Amino acid sequence: MSVSVLLISRSSPWSGLAAREALDIALSGGAFDLPMSMLWLDEGVWQLVGEQQPQQLEQKNLPAQLSALPMFGIEKLYVAQHSLEQRGLTEADLMLEVSVVDAGQIAQLIEQHQQVLSL
Amino acid sequence: MKFVLLISSAPQSPATRRALRFAEALLESGHRLERVFFYQEAVHIASKLLVYPQDEPNIAQQWQAFIQQHQLDAVVCIAAALRRGVVDEGEAQRYQLQASNLAQGYALSGLGQLHEAVQQADRLVHFRGQA
């Protein structure tokens, strides 16, 4: 039985490599068929917002890469409700199908997974 | 207990020093350190070109000595390392670079090494420092 991993992505998409390197952990875990879930928290929620123009920053399209997650078998995707609210975002602003979770549910997620990584 | 350490803090980060002290304490307490995985800014710890002022502790050198002394499995993420200019001789040849700088005792490899270690560990401890 594989160990379940919750990956918490907390970095904004364009402030450096952190968001991209968190995603790389998720995608590589998916490639090995490992049970991985992903939670976007804090500034990380900006990664999910649609209609970004990364070409203006001469960056790869991170949101497009995020949409590859289900293809890699990573379908348990969550976003923190309070992080969205703090930034004036709603579910309608997001380009990926994710479950909105409150603080209690986040605590449950951390409890349910055997390992937790926060990047 | 089987431990795996993930380190993603820069050499200068206090987290890098704390990670080493934690690793030392693990072994002293009779635990096993299955693998240390260096990711993100932590790949610079594995560079042999870091130079510290004489009156400052050289944490990168301390890490290397610790790894060599205990024959630890120290893996540096290859993708994170290459884009930050940390390369071994093989990669230097492959990309026709003029030099390599990966210190002895470390190995460049992929994220699969992190996943494999996490799957086998009783405890995964992450030292991340400030992004």
| Residues of B with catalytic function | 77
Q: What Cα–Cα distance (Å) separates residue B130 from each residue in A13, A119, B33, B74?
A: 16, 10, 24, 22
Q: Shortest Cα distance from B36 to chain A (angstroms)?
A: 15
User: What is the interface pTM, i.e. ipTM, of the complex?
Assistant: 0.92
Given this model, what pLDDT does residue A59 score? 87
Q: What Cα–Cα distance (Å) separates residue B31 from each residue in B18, B28, B115, B122?
A: 17, 7, 20, 10
* Structural domains in chain A plus CATH codes: 5-118 (3.40.1260.10)
| Among the partner residues B40, B110, B121, nearest to A17 by beta-carbon distance | B40
- Residue pLDDT, tens place only, A54-103: 899 888 888 889 999 999 999 999 999 999 999 999 999 999 999 999 99
How many whole angstroms separate alpha carbon B77 and alpha carbon B43?
Answer: 7
Contacts of B114 in chain A (CB under 8 A): 25, 28
- Residue pLDDT, tens place only, B77-104: 999 999 999 999 999 999 999 999 999 9
**How much is the pTM?**
0.95
Contacts of B112 in chain A (CB under 8 A): 28, 32
Is residue B130 scored above 80 in pLDDT? no
More confident residue, A52 or B22: B22
How many whole angstroms separate alpha carbon A116 and alpha carbon A98?
Answer: 19
Q: Show Cβ contacts of residue B60 under 8 Å, excluding neighbours closer than 6 positions.
A: B11, B44, B45, B46, B47, B50, B52, B103
Amino acid at B56: E
Is residue A15 scored above 90 in pLDDT? no
For residue A117, the cross-strand partners are A7
- Residue pLDDT, tens place only, A96-115: 999 999 999 999 999 999 99
